[in-house]
Amino acid sequence: MPIARLRASLIACSVIAALGCSVTTNQPPVDLNRSANTAAPASTTTVDPTESEYDDQNETTLGDPLQLVSDEVEAAPVPEELPEEVEYLTDKDPAAEPEERAVEDYIQPIPLDLGAGNASAVVIDQVVNSVHESYPLLAAALLENSIADGKQLATWGKFDTKFKSASQNGALGFYETYRQDIGFVQPIYSGGEFFSGYRIGRGNFQPWYQERQTNEGGEFKAGFRVPLLKNREIDERRAALWRATYEQQRVRPEVRAQLILFVREASIAYWTWIATGQQYRIWQQALELSEERNSRLQRRVEEGDLDPPALQDNLRSIALRESKLIDRGRKLQQSAVKLSLFYRSADGSPIIPEPSQLRDFPEPTEFLASQLESDIQVALSQRPELAALDALYRQVNVDLAEANNEFLPSVDAQVWNSQDMGEPTSSKRDKSRYELEASLFIDVPLQRRKARGKSHAAEAKLSQVAVKRRFTQDKIVAEVQAAFAGLTAAFDRLGKAREAKRLAEYMADVERRRFELGQSGLLDVFIREQSAIEAADGEVEALLEYFAALANYTAALAFDWPMPAESKP
């Protein structure tokens, strides 16, 4: 009998032990082996049960977050008595599988990493090419070239061949005279002019105007006039032409400067659109995380595993993230509209890119300090501001040369010859002989105030342009140095932002696991996730700052096309 009782006691103990391994209560004990197996896909670090206890005050190497709470869980007391509402589930019961899947969902990292861009993504080269081909303000700026070309062509008009004619008839009066003449005048580029013509004069001329009368066949005349001192090296016609030519040379760099500015603005608008798209996806994925968690929390509240306020707190986080998502969506749409000012079709129509055309940021490139000096020399040789000032300097030099020309006396030589044709109209035949005449004309201003005033103004203007050029050189060097400093600082900041993101995601992962194991509250999870979201936002902002700084550096070096680092797919 004692043996039978002992056998019954052993059987009862075995049954109780067997049932105790699969009891589920409102506060179930945690199976660490099952949790570790479930967490295995989320981390490649093996949990070592012999690891020392986690200490917040000691520096540790980041490993599997489960290791941080495993020792505490092992020390958790097991209830001595089971509550009355008890469910007995075997390990093979399918009702336990959703619980395991829920745990696996909880321990996944927050999904903040963005996917790769799709094949139809808009790239920076497309936007910049659109600026070159279709941007309206660039088209307006290019018309400045046409305006300068037109003005320069107009100055050539001073050298056009001129046709002259006149008809002067005195039909009534004591002296009836009829005079007709035509002629051509061809200015010479080196100064002076050629002239030729034909005239015929008939009638009863006054005795003092007998030279107006010609033979019956009229008179042919040809000659030239050239300057010997003043207006020989430069005159009003050539000065106007040279000024207009240098104006062409001045306008072209100014147009290129505007193109560089437009490319810079388009690049920043493009990277802003990329950044707002990535930030939109960050908050979209954060919202999806809250929504997925809400269904699991609702089930746990219904099962009595969580208090109802926890579900309300998660609903609060959903509302907050929906609000943020709406705001990010607004910024994404606004940035796309702003980008459409630069991104246009072949006919110039704005194209608003779709969110599906977003791409990721290319991998940033580090710029070395050793290349700064050579880049400064590149900027000094390429910046259009210096070319424009050089053209302006040459323009003012023309003014100075023209002023110095005014100091010279005007000494012009003129030679012409003429021959009357046909029957003589005078009995003296004084119109029939070949005529040749040479003349010298001298004109000297005594005070020469015009020359002195123009020379003084031109010399002052030359000094002014020289000072502006020196300052512009200093400004270019400063702009390159400032842009380089911004670029290197942005690259360094990006490294820190990525490290902050990695750590924030790690801590959010730890907090979610602690919450699942009953070691933390939902509010702590929200705080950690918010830190991870802000860190991901910070990484995007750092990327935007880097590529905006790269656009500034590209413009400082006077490139009107993105650098290779911006064009990487």
Between residues 78 and 413, the one the model is more confident about: 413
My answer on whether 203 and 266 are in the same domain is no
Give me the pLDDT at residue 179, please. 87
For the record, the structure tokens of 88 come out as: 């007995």
Is 40 or 495 the better-scoring residue by pLDDT?
Answer: 495
Please give the model's pTM, rounded to 2 decimal places. 0.71
Other CB atoms within 10 A of residue 327 CB: 13
**CA-based R_g, the chain, Å:** 46
Query: What three-state secondary structure class fits 86?
Result: coil
Run of H or E including 561: none
pLDDT given at position 118: 55
Give, for 178, the enclosing helix (H) or strand (E). strand 177-187
Q: Secondary structure of 217-253 in the HEC alphabet? A: CEEEEEEEEEECCCCCCCCHHHHHHHHHHHHHHHHHH
Q: In this model, does residue 74 exceed pLDDT 50? A: no
Q: Is residue 115 part of a domain?
A: no
- Residue pair 476/414 in contact (Cβ under 8 Å)? The answer is no
Planar angle of CA 458, 463, 464, nearest 5 degrees: 95
Tell me which of 14-23, 161-170, 276-285, 517-526 is least confident. Answer: 14-23
Distance separating alpha carbons of residues 114 and 107, to the nearest angstrom: 19
Q: Is residue 454 part of a domain?
A: no
Sole residue written with tokens 């969580």:
306
Query: What pLDDT score does 114 carry?
Result: 39
Distance CA 62, CA 364 (A): 26
What is the helix (H) or strand (E) element at residue 440, kind and residue range? strand 435-443
pLDDT at position 288 over 60: yes
pLDDT at 564: 66
Q: Is there a single domain that holds both residue 136 and residue 174?
A: no
If phi > 0 it is left, if psi is from -120 to 50 it is alpha, else beta; for residue 132 that is: alpha
Q: What is the CATH number of the domain that holds 310?
A: 1.20.1600.10
Quick check: is 119 in a domain? no
**Of 429, 44, 3, nearest to 215 (Cα)?**
429
The yes-or-no verdict on residue 148 having pLDDT over 90 is yes
In the chain, the number of structural domains is 3
Out of 98-107, 133-142, 315-324, 393-402, which region has the weakest mean confidence (pLDDT)?
98-107
Say yes or no: 204 and 328 in one domain: no
Q: Is residue 246 part of a domain?
A: yes
Nearest-angstrom CA–CA distance, 335 and 355: 11
**What average pLDDT score do residues 71-90 get?**
36
DSSP string, 11-75: HHHHHHHHHHTTEE-SSPPP-HHHHHHHHGGG--PPP-TTSPPP-TTS------TTHHHHHHHHT
Say if residue 9's pLDDT is above 60: no
CB 505 within 8 A of CB 112: yes
Domain annotation covers residue 108: no
CA distance 542 to 265: 18
Residue 546's pLDDT is: 96
Give the dihedral of Cα atoms 66, 72, 73, 76; nearest 10 deg.
-170
Q: Tell which wins on pLDDT, 417 or 28.
A: 417
Q: Is residue 31 part of a domain?
A: yes
Does 213 share its domain with 354? no
Residue 565's pLDDT is 55
Q: What is the pLDDT of residue 193?
A: 94
Do residues 264 and 386 share a domain?
Answer: yes
Q: Are residues 486 and 383 in the same domain?
A: yes
* Distance of alpha carbon 154 from alpha carbon 87, whole angstroms: 101
Between these two residues, 214 and 402, which has the higher pLDDT value?
402
Q: Which of 234-243, 275-284, 437-446, 514-523 has the lowest mean pLDDT?
A: 514-523
**Is residue 539 pLDDT above 80, yes or no?**
yes
- Domain shared by 203 and 321, yes or no: no
The tens digit of pLDDT for each residue in 255-281 reads: 999 999 999 999 999 999 999 999 999
Q: Could you read off the pLDDT of 442-455 as tens digits, one per residue?
A: 999 888 999 999 99
Say if residue 476's pLDDT is above 60: yes
Average pLDDT, the chain: 80
Residue 487, domain member (yes or no): yes
433 and 380 in a common domain: no
Query: Residue 110 domain-assigned?
Result: no
Task: Check residue 566 and give its pLDDT.
Answer: 54
397: Cβ–Cβ under 8 A, 6 or more apart, which residues? 458, 462
**Same domain flag for 472 and 434:** no
Q: Is residue 65 predicted with pLDDT exceeding 70?
A: no
pLDDT at residue number 208: 84
Same domain? For 292 and 438 the reply is no
Distances in Å between the Cα of 49 and the Cα atoms of 32, 46, 53, 62 are 10, 10, 10, 16
> Of 328, 339, 345, which Cα lies nearest the Cα of 286?
328
- C-beta separation of 193 from 209 below 8 A: no
Lowest mean pLDDT among 175-179, 250-254, 379-383: 175-179
Same domain? For 85 and 36 the reply is yes
Residues 171 and 218 in one domain: yes
Q: What is the pLDDT of residue 379?
A: 96
Helix axes 97-106 and 449-516, enclosed angle (nearest 10):
150
Three-state SS for 200? strand
Percent of the chain at pLDDT > 70 equals 78
Domain range holding 220? Answer: 161-230+410-443
